[in-house]
Structure formats: structure tokens, C-alpha cells
Amino acid sequence: MRNFCFFICCAFISCNNIGKTTSVVQKNIECEDCLVTKEETVLGIAESVLFETYGRDNIEGQRPYKVSVENDSIWRLEGTFWHLGYGGTFDISISAKDGKVIYMTHGK
């Protein structure tokens, strides 16, 4: 019974996060010469590229995304792994200065 309750709690938490794109706290970059300063903008860029490359269903299945800022000018987004067993997630880095993709991969 204890294992069943644990499973139900985990399932509830997982289902609660599936529709979310990122965490509640939105990140911004304070940079005078940067074009991509808001998280919502970089999400649009990243999803456009990732959907075209790896498929919409695959990428949306990796929500919520982990979003971080590196060196105050590079956005890094990673997918969340929700499956048991083998598989991977995307990893993409986008320049805040011009919105160009610096690095992109998807694990298997």
C-alpha cells in the first residue's frame, strides 16, 4: 500500500508539470546590446528550431524545460526526462546578443 501511495503521488506531481514550459520564475538578461533578453523570447526561438529538427511531440514531451543563463549572454535550455529506461533530452544554447543557436544536441 505504501508503494502504491508513493506511485500515485509521483504521478500527480508529474502530471501537474507536463503542461508547464518552464519554472514560475521568469529569467531575464540585463544586457544593453542583447536582442534576446527575456525567457519567453528565447523559448520561442528554441522551440521553433527544436520542433523542426526533432519533432513537436518529442520536444513538448520534455516539458518543463530547464532554463539557465551562462556568462550573462548565453541562454541554455534542457529538456526534462520523464520516461523509465533509455532515452534522452535536448540541450540547446542560444546567444542573447543575436538569437543564433550556438549549440544543439539531443541524447538517445
Q: What is the pLDDT of residues 39-87, one digit of tens each?
A: 999 999 999 999 999 999 999 999 999 999 999 899 999 999 987 767 7
pLDDT, position 30: 82
Identify the three-state secondary structure at position 93: strand
- Domains contained in the chain, number: 1
Phi, psi of 106 (to 5 degrees): -145, 125
Residue 91 CA to residue 79 CA, distance in Å, equals 7
Residue 8 CA to residue 32 CA, distance in Å, equals 48
Cell for 10? Answer: 509521483
Residues with Cβ within 8 Å of 93's Cβ and at least 6 positions away in sequence, in order, are 70, 74, 75, 76, 77, 101, 102, 103, 104
Which residues constitute the domain of residue 100? 2-106
